[in-house]
A = this chain, B = another copy of it.
Amino acid sequence: MSERKVTSLDVARRAGVSQSAVSRVFSGASASPKTISKVRKAAEHLGYRPNPLARAMITGKSKIIGLVVAYLDNQFYPLALERLSNSLQDHGYHVLVFMAPNDQEAVEKVVHDLMDYQVAGIITASVGMTNDLTQRCANAGIPVVMFNRGQDGGGISSVTSANVAGGGRIADFLVAGGHKRIAHIAGWEGSSTGRDRARGFVDGLAAHDMEPMAVIDGYFDREIAAQATRDIMSGPRPADAIFVGNDHMAFAVMDTLRGEMGLSVPDDVSVVGYDDVPLAAWAAYDLTTLRQPLNRMVEATVDTLLGQITDPERPSQKIEIEGPLILRASAKIPKGYTK
């Protein structure tokens, strides 16, 4: 029972001004230097802090950002969550977490919850049912930014890495490595990320007059990726290189190749991933992968979202950020490529 609630009215009385004056000082509206100083002093003395809930009720917008996220077992997303939360905290916002729903009914509930809390904005990180969810929130006038997912249609902002270009760079890299039978275990085809990487990759091979030996949808799932690996490698003419749609699956692929099939990476087969999660750098995998520049992606996401909150008229943006190919030991390094 230490501190009792102290309100703007208490501050006003002590400072000898009206409650509205206090409100104006703390909401950044105009006020004379003298008033500001009186109010600040009184507020500090009393330990006053504006009540964000009351504020939200009046303005209709809370300082809360809804973060809708699907999986947390792919290391990329916890890190994104961490960075996003930190960055938003620096800007005076906080992150309310929503685990992304699987069925339609749950989507309904999440959308409602988001609106109930009058979130100022929404970030969706790799959500399956993006279309429905984001569209409805955007229609309700809530700024939405899709993180690590794009969308062709409506005017919804998104921040991704340059997935098509990245896929192409990996194609170049594997061709330069002298690989002849190159397979692709793709990210989920239902996601722009999966599609774009696959497209860039296939087009990249085509530029060298080559075709992928196989393209299999791995659904961003370890088990499915493992099965795809078995399918690809068990025939009479197995692949000599595999581009995997993200690191998370790539680890499963390497586990399957080495642990289960007794193959050597990269001697028997090169493996390349996408993301460059920290785990990719660990000795057990040492995975060659295309880095998604997490910090810059987070920065762009926060900038875009806050911009759209500040100015609702601002048009939506689709931001793509280039990342470098990180050369490690899981894939043959062609001449001319250097660590």
Binding site for B on A (CB under 8 A): 1-3, 49-54, 56-57, 62, 64, 67, 72-73, 75, 77-79, 81-82, 85-86, 89, 94-99, 112-113, 116-118, 139-141, 251-252, 254-256, 258-260, 278-279, 282-286
> Nearest B residue to A82 by beta-carbon distance?
B72
Q: Is the CB–CB distance between B254 and A284 below 8 Å?
A: yes
CB distance from A86 to the nearest CB of B (A): 5
Work out how many copies of this chain go into the complex. 2
Q: Known contacts A72-B78, A79-B73, A96-B96: does B283 contact A259 (CB below 8 Å)?
A: yes
CB distance from A97 to the nearest CB of B (A): 5
Q: Which residues of B contact A113 (CB under 8 A)?
A: 94
CB distance from A264 to the nearest CB of B (A): 14
> Nearest B residue to A75 by beta-carbon distance?
B75
Q: Please name 13 further chain A to chain B contacts, defined as beta carbons within 8 Å, in addition to the given A53-B117, A75-B75, sorted by A numbering.
A: A1-B141, A54-B57, A72-B78, A72-B79, A72-B81, A72-B82, A73-B78, A73-B278, A89-B99, A251-B282, A259-B286, A284-B284, A284-B285
Q: Which residues of B contact A57 (CB under 8 A)?
A: 51, 53-54, 57
Q: Is the CB–CB distance between A86 and B99 below 8 Å?
A: yes
Q: Which residues of B contact A285 (CB under 8 A)?
A: 284
Residue with the greatest number of chain B CB neighbours at <10 A, chosen from A56, A78, A251, A254: A78
Q: Is the CB–CB distance between A258 and B278 below 8 Å?
A: no
Q: How long is the Cα–Cα vector from A303 to B75 in the complex, in angstroms?
A: 28
Residue with the greatest number of chain B CB neighbours at <10 A, chosen from A1, A81, A94, A256: A94
A97 partner, pick from B75, B85, B116, beta carbons under 8 A: B85
Q: How long is the Cα–Cα vector from A283 to B265 in the complex, in angstroms?
A: 14
CB distance from A109 to the nearest CB of B (A): 9
CB distance from A124 to the nearest CB of B (A): 15
Q: How long is the Cα–Cα vector from A216 to B257 in the complex, in angstroms?
A: 36
Q: Is the CB–CB distance between B62 and A53 below 8 Å?
A: yes
Q: Is the CB–CB distance between B283 and A260 below 8 Å?
A: yes
> Nearest B residue to A94 by beta-carbon distance?
B96
Q: Which residues of B contact A49 (CB under 8 A)?
A: 112, 116
Q: Which residues of B contact A73 (CB under 8 A)?
A: 75, 78-79, 278
CB distance from A23 to the nearest CB of B (A): 16
A255 partner, pick from B50, B99, B118, B283, beta carbons under 8 A: B283
CB distance from A129 to the nearest CB of B (A): 16
Q: Is the CB–CB distance between B94 and A82 below 8 Å?
A: no
Nearest 4 CB-CB pairings of A with B: A259-B283, A255-B283, A78-B78, A72-B78
